[in-house]
Structures are given as C-alpha cells and as structure tokens.
Chains A and B, each alone.
Chain A
Amino acid sequence: MSYKAKFKVWRGDAGEGSLEDYGVEVNEGEVVLDIIHRLQATQAPDMAVRWNCKAGKCGSCSAEVNGVPRLMCMTRMSTFTEDETITVTPLRTFPVIRDLVTDVSFNYTKAREVASFEPPAELKPGDYRMAQVDVERSQEFRKCIECFLCQNTCHAVRDHEDNKDHFAGPRFLMRVAELDMHPLDTRERRNEAQEDHGLGFCNITKCCTEVCPEHIKITDNALIPMKERVADRKYDPLVWLGNKIARRK
C-alpha cells in the first residue's frame, strides 16, 4: 500500500534557505527518515541529513517535523494522514550547516563544563560496591542518547540566544543530577548547578520531558530534584542550621 506524499523540506546553508516542495512515494511501515533517504536517492542526491543507526539508539537524526522536535527515524509515516503536507526543518536552536544538518557543538562545549565523576580517592577498581536501588536514579539519566532534542526545545536558549553562555540546558543539568545522585560521587555539585550551569533558568515548563525519545522524566526526576537539592544548600536556613548542628556533634 503506497501513496504519494507531499513534503516540504528546508533547503539551504549559512542560515539562508527556504522550504522546498517535494512529492515522494511512501510505503507501509516507513518512517520520515526513510522518505528523506528516498528523496536523496531519487530527487536530491546532495540533500544533507545526519543519521546513523536508524533505530532510535544513536540520536543523530534530530529535526523538526511539522514544527515538533523529533527523531526522524522514530516518526512513523502512519501518524500522518495521506493528504497532509509534512514539513521537515532543521533544529532551530543551533546554527544550520546545510539543509537538515545543524552545528550542535554548543552541546559538546556544555558537556565539557560539567565536572567529571569523582570517586573516593582510596577506592580501587574492582572494589566498587553499589546497591541496585542506589544506581537506578542515575541509570535512568544514562539512558540519554544525546539527540539534543531537549536542548533544542528548551525556550531558555531556543528563544534567547544570549542565555547560551550561562545555561547548560536540560541534558547537562540532568548530567549534573546524574552525578549528584551517583552513590559514589564525592563532589559537591549543588552550587555549580545553580551558579555555573544555570539551573535557575529552568522554569520547569517540561518541554524537555515532552520531546525526550527515551522517555526520561527529565523534569520530574532530574531537574526538580536538583532544584530541591540546591534549595537545601542555598535557600533553606533550616537545613543549613541542621547541618551546622550535626557537624558540631
């Protein structure tokens, strides 16, 4: 069962470009990435698209389909009607290189700014002991495939380029939370989260969670708990007092 679908794809580079119309064959069981590949093989051999595994595991083929940030390999054609025009554009938050390919180096820069895991100095490899319940929270965050859809969707940087300097974005605030919840991490990360990585810019409107293809509960399980931990450290006189007294003992 195949039909001819109407596609609009953003073509261009160096920022300038436009939506171009294509008519293309669609078969049963296909996803948007299949269609882009068909365009490449039949009508536009130089159409740039980034992809790798085509199985929703590598997070390369991020784009915006009908305005919604998605992985193209995870967007089934059966979710659209046959007469619908499907618009595919590059991620809007990052500079475009060409067509559907954007420069995502922002994310790698931010990744480098999060201090690495710091295990207890005296612990030898092979002697690590952790309970399953203690690793599960961080394990959820390590499901992240770094598709950067959350980074792209978050309005704090999507609508405000100037915030890119002082806001790490959901993916890397989640990385801070992951390390803070790691049972063997010894670093104090709460101040950094707020001061260096801009946790305060998050206004928990949950778009990161909405677009996450791995269904990680970024807001509820990482960002909000991290905000609460920061509040412990920075904004809670009672906890502060409690710690002071406890340390005296």
Chain B
Amino acid sequence: MSTGTVSPSRTRAEIEQSTLRTDRYWVAPLVTFIVFLAFIAYATFRAFQNEYYYASPYVSPFYSPCISTNCTPMPGAGEVHFIGSWWKLSPALLILVFPLGFRMTCYYYRKAYYRAFWQSPPACAVAEPHGKYTGETRFPLIFQNAHRYFFIAASLFNVILTWDAILGFRNTDGQWGHMGLGTLVLLANATLLWLYTASCHSCRHIMGGRLKHFSKHPVRYRAWTVVSRLNTRHMQLAWASLFGVALTDLYVWLVASNVFSDPKFF
C-alpha cells in the first residue's frame, strides 16, 4: 500500500465464517453471563424479600445502612433514618442503587457485560450481531463517565460496612469483646470491598493518574503505585467481592432464619 495512491475500490477479504477461531472462546462470556444472572436473581429476590437481614449483631450488606424507618431495629448498625417513614417497600431498594451503580459503571464489569450480555463483541475477533455501534458516545452509555462519583459513594458504603463488621465484635446483647464466625465473614466482606474499590481505575486516576509529573508529587506517586499494583487484580477483586457480598448476605439470612447457628469463638 502507499499513503493515498491506492485505488479506492478495494474491499475486505471475503471470508464466509463469522469467525475462524477454533478455541472455546465462548466459555468465558457464557460463564460470566450465568454467574451475573444468578447474582442478579439472588440479589433481586433478597432485596425485595425484606426480612432475615439482621441476625444480631450481624447485618446483611444489602440492608446497610438503613435510611428509612421501616427496617428491623439494628442497634448500632447504620441506623440513619433520614428519609423518614413514608417509604413502605424494602429499605434495601433505597441503597442498593449505589453499589449497583458502582459495579455497573466499573471498567471491568463494563467489559464483562458488554461481552457476555450485549455481545459487543462476544469475544475478540468474533463478529458482533449488531448493525450499528456508537460505543459510549451517547445517552445512556455516556453516563459511564460518572464512575468516579459511584466510586466515592462506594467508599462511603465501605466505611459503613466496615463499621458493621466492627459491630460484629459484640454478642447478641450488644456487649463488646465477643466474636463469632459471622464476624469473620463480615470482616472478609469489608476487606474485599475495600480492595475492589481501591483497585478501581477512577481511584487510580484520582490518586495520581491525572498528574503529568509524578516526580513533583512523590506522595501521590506512591499512592498511584500502590493502586496500580492493586489495579492489575481489579478483575479478580471484582469477582471475589461480588461473591463476598452474596455469601455474607446468605450467611446472615441463614443465621437470621435460624437455619444455621453462628458459632461463637468467645
């Protein structure tokens, strides 16, 4: 070829098959699809269920903080009923939009669901079944650019869930200095959420990515370095924390519904 001197009538090579890949490229999107769907189903059910979300001293991450007055009394745990009593549905629905938004706009999840749900593309070098593509240039996908705000919201939630885990060091009567298996579950959940949130691309940008000269900001450079390191594991952390939240909720459900009794260490 040469720049500009070529006959313009050229076309792409005619190849019938939409892909010639011989590996099982569809496994990854399929697994993603099934797991995400399962999570959505579970989370929707639990969010609407509106019971078995508090097993003193443990609160399910789906229901913390509680910002309406219609939830089970959860002494100490995020009871900031600032929206008052008019809300009649499950209180979970009020707050889940934030963690959901964080994950929906997350750069890793975007890749995962664009591939698995929207097949845009299903896998690399596999044709996508859409006639038109505008990417994230217009409504509604242009709102993916709001990821940074969800990052801030998610960080606030992490503080609350960390406090919830600390409250787990009480017994059922609210006395401090105790611990059960649930405490560990809540702690693990909070840790994974922190790691997932801290490894976020927006976080990386805010910490130092937006700088032109690292050398003039040694502290932020160091922070960026740490986040960058975590960021390489963002996908793994996204999955781990997703399972973490679901399993923590399940644990609280099982304990709250007396299917399982929380083993107390001391």
Contacts and interface: CB of A to CB of B under 8 A. Distances in A.
Contact of B214 (A14, A95, A134, A163): A134
A156 interface: yes
Contact of A202 (B23, B125, B135): B135
A202 B136 contact: yes
B68 interface: no
Interface string A162-195: 0100000000000000000101000000000000
Contacts of B128: 155, 159
Interface stretch (B13-21, B33-41, B169-177, B255-263): B13-21
A206 B22 CA distance: 20
Contacts of A160: 132-133
A181 B212 CA distance: 6
Central interface residue in B12, B13, B205, B210, by most chain A CB within 10 Å: B13
A225 B21 contact: no
B20 A131 contact: no
Contacts of A229: 205, 210
Interface in A200-214: 200-207, 210-211
B133 A163 contact: yes
A69 B138 CA distance: 30
B124 A211 contact: yes
Nearest to B202: A228
Q: How many residues of B sit at the interface, in one of the four size bands? A: 35 or more
Contact of A134 (B115, B133, B215): B215
Given A205-B121, A210-B124, A220-B201, A198 B137 contact: yes
Interface string A37-63: 000000000000000000000000000
Interface string B180-202: 00000000000000000000011
Contacts of A97: 1, 10
Nearest to B127: A159
A160 B120 CA distance: 11
A134 B213 contact: yes
Given A67-B20, A227-B145, A203 B13 contact: no
B26 to A, nearest CB: 13
Overall SS of chain B's interface: loop
Contacts of A181: 212
A90 B12 CA distance: 9
Nearest to A217: B232
B137 A207 contact: no
A17 interface: yes
Contacts of A198: 135, 137
A20 to B, nearest CB: 13
B221 A133 contact: yes
Contact of B10 (A96, A183, A232): A96
Interface residues of A, number: 63
A227 B9 CA distance: 35
Contacts of B23: 66, 68
Contact of A228 (B2, B6, B115, B210): B210
B214 A15 contact: no
Contacts of B13: 10, 12, 15, 17, 89-90, 92, 96, 102
Interface of B: 1-4, 6, 9-15, 17, 19-23, 107, 110-111, 114-115, 120-121, 124-128, 130, 132-138, 141-142, 145-148, 201-202, 204-205, 209-210, 212-215, 221, 231-232
24 contacts: A10-B15, A67-B19, A67-B20, A69-B124, A92-B15, A92-B125, A95-B12, A96-B11, A108-B3, A109-B3, A131-B215, A134-B212, A155-B121, A155-B127, A156-B135, A201-B134, A205-B111, A205-B114, A207-B124, A211-B124, A220-B232, A225-B204, A225-B205, A234-B145
Interface of A: 10, 12, 14-17, 19, 64, 66-69, 84, 87, 89-90, 92-97, 102-105, 108-109, 131, 133-134, 153, 155-156, 158-160, 163, 181, 183, 198, 200-207, 210-211, 220, 224-225, 227-232, 234-236
